[in-house]
Amino acid sequence: MTQVKNVIKDNYKMMLLNDFLREKIKESGFSKVDISKTPTGTKITLYVTRPGIVIGRKGTGIKELTEKIQTDFGYKNPQISVEEITKPELSPSVMCNRMAAHIERGTAFRRATMWTMNQIMESGAMGVQITISGKLRGDRSAFEKHTQGILPRAGDYAKNIVSEDIVHTKTPMGLIGIKIRIARKEKLIPEFEHTEKKSIEPDIDDKESESEIVAKTESEQIKIEEEKMKTLETLEEEEEKLK
């Protein structure tokens, strides 16, 4: 029984730490945290899109974060390392946080959903599913589920290649939940890999992306995406044109 209590206690502490980091270092594009015990203490690995923000100038940021985690969460001698995420659009945690930020700033939830799905698929995902629930349009709660690509739903393949995350955000209408599931191609078993035809023509999108402004923080990233999102045509606008 004592072992069960310890597991529950560790999981609860992990949940609190995850919520703390999601808010504390959100400008760095926090994705997840891994914790492992070592003979000398506790090894904590943070996965973010912008490691420089976490580390801070001359390591002041990571030093402050280490002291905070040791004091508030009771981890013995925490040793924090920071790993950079090369493709943030394939991280459910990062995309959940970005989509929540867009909705908090007043973007329509369907426009934010379409934009997020397009960003994930354009980054090379095999499939994506976004579920948004809560008081979306009126006093009654509702939910919508949007899917693109191929997304295994059960079995060993779903366990290995699909990752997911859930966040909640407050709006004037009430609390809204966002769940994103992403299937990644690079985790496929070889015999099930898709073969895609390579175009001889140069990739125009790559040239355009080189000239784009690189955001230093997640807040800057959200502002840049908001301007681009204005050109996105939603289903409601398409229906109005057909009337």
Mean pLDDT of 71-82: 89
- The enclosing H or E element of 164 equals strand 162-171
State both tokens at 60.
Answer: 């002041």
Query: Do residues 126 and 149 make contact, with C-beta atoms less than 8 angstroms apart?
Result: yes
pLDDT (tens digit per residue) in 164-207: 999 998 888 888 999 999 998 876 655 545 555 554 444 545 44
Helix axes 60-73, 2-24, angle to 10 degrees: 150
Mean pLDDT of 45-53: 92
Q: Is the four-CA dihedral 30, 34, 37, 38 of positive or negative sign? A: negative
What percent of the chain clears pLDDT 90, i.e. is strictly above it?
A: 38
pLDDT (tens digit per residue) in 111-125: 999 999 999 999 999
pTM score of the predicted model: 0.78
State both tokens at 183.
Answer: 């299937």
Query: Do residues 160 and 101 make contact, with C-beta atoms less than 8 angstroms apart?
Result: no
- The domains of the chain, with CATH numbers, are 2-84 (3.30.300.20), 87-194 (3.30.1140.32)
What integer pLDDT is reported at residue 216 of this predicted model?
79
Decide if pLDDT at 160 tops 50. yes
Query: Do residues 179 and 155 make contact, with C-beta atoms less than 8 angstroms apart?
Result: no
Mean pLDDT of 211-217: 69
What integer pLDDT is reported at residue 26 of this predicted model?
86
